[in-house]
Amino acid sequence: MTTNELALRLSLRHDTAARLLKTLEIHGFVEQSRFAQRFQPGRTASALSEKFLRETPVSEIARSVLQALADRHNATCILAVDDAGEALSLVVCNGLNRVSSPCCHVGSAYPLTKTAAGHALLFTTRSETDDTDESTSHTSAETEALRESFCFFRASGCFRLMLQEEKLLLLAAPLHLNNAVLAMEIILPADARSACDSAGTMKDLLAAVELVQRKCAAMGVRYLEDS
């Protein structure tokens, strides 16, 4: 975000926001992004978030399962949670020969309508009607993609989203814990997946979700301990 955007979001004067940003930058909490006059989380903030996520039990339980899934399909696999209307990546695993995308890392967040994991979180925590009829918050293209994704879920158990420009196929399924709903997502090159391949990938994804759920249930793991 820019200084102006942050000042507006936080109801601060521009000079106050600029001064605070400078202080945060000095201590490593924010840094200049590659886009002119914009800021992003810095190394100190990343270190703190990674420490928190390492101490969240479900992340460690899911990591080995996600890595095996990523290696099997040479894909990127993600564990995500709904964070204030965005799909926040808690765990990101890449296949053996797959280069990690700079936009896909632990701590990256995207609007729920922009990822298959987001679709899974939307429809699991709210009703279909509530989400697809919110024309004021979703564009017509997003609403149509949500409807198609939900129909695909009803038929297969997985949510699906095609990113045409990036030539990627995103598949996701909800992961239910005893006090939270998360989502597991697999990202594949769209042009490398036949219908048969996709069916096998979905089967493996659903099996991975079930395995993580069983492990968490057996160990009594919650997403976050009650305060």
21 domain-assigned: yes
How does DSSP classify residue 113?
Answer: G
Q: What is the mean pLDDT of the chain?
A: 85
pLDDT of residue 193: 52
The helix/strand/coil state of 63 is helix
Distance from C-alpha of 145 to C-alpha of 99, rounded to nearest angstrom: 27
Q: Which residue has the higher pLDDT, 96 or 64?
A: 64
- Work out whether strand 159-163 and strand 109-111 pair parallel, antiparallel, or are unpaired: unpaired
Distance from C-alpha of 170 to C-alpha of 163, rounded to nearest angstrom: 8
Q: Considering the chain, what percentage of its residues have pLDDT values greater than 90?
A: 51
**Do 186 and 145 fall into the same domain?**
yes
**Do 116 and 148 fall into the same domain?**
yes
208-225 tens-digit pLDDT: 999 999 998 888 887 876
**Do 130 and 203 fall into the same domain?**
yes
Q: Name which of 80-89, 144-153, 161-170 the model is least confident about.
A: 161-170
**Do 10 and 61 fall into the same domain?**
no
9-26 tens-digit pLDDT: 899 999 999 999 999 999
**Do 105 and 199 fall into the same domain?**
yes
158 domain-assigned: yes
pLDDT of residue 189: 82
Q: Which of 109, 108, 140, 146 is nearest to 127 (CA)?
A: 146
CATH number at 205 reads 3.30.450.40
Per the structure, how many domains does the chain have?
A: 2
Q: Quick one: tokens of 155? A: 């038929």
**Do 13 and 82 fall into the same domain?**
no
**Do 34 and 65 fall into the same domain?**
no
**Do 189 and 132 fall into the same domain?**
yes
Q: Which helix (H) or strand (E) holds 181?
A: strand 181-189
pLDDT of residue 105: 84
**Do 41 and 78 fall into the same domain?**
no
pLDDT of residue 53: 65
167 domain-assigned: yes
224 domain-assigned: no
Average pLDDT over residues 50-70: 84
**Do 32 and 82 fall into the same domain?**
no
User: In this model, does residue 166 exceed pLDDT 70?
Assistant: yes
153-162 tens-digit pLDDT: 999 999 999 9
pTM for the whole structure? 0.71
User: In this model, does residue 40 exceed pLDDT 60?
Assistant: yes
Distance from C-alpha of 123 to C-alpha of 57, rounded to nearest angstrom: 25
84-122 tens-digit pLDDT: 889 999 999 998 766 555 567 888 889 999 999 999 999
User: In this model, does residue 126 exceed pLDDT 70?
Assistant: no
**Do 138 and 215 fall into the same domain?**
yes
The answer to whether residues 184 and 175 touch, using CB atoms and an 8 Å cutoff, is yes
The answer to whether residues 168 and 115 touch, using CB atoms and an 8 Å cutoff, is no
50 domain-assigned: no
**Do 110 and 19 fall into the same domain?**
no
The range of the structural domain enclosing residue 37 comes to 3-45
205 domain-assigned: yes
Sequence-distant (6+) residues with CB within 8 A of 165 are none
189 domain-assigned: yes
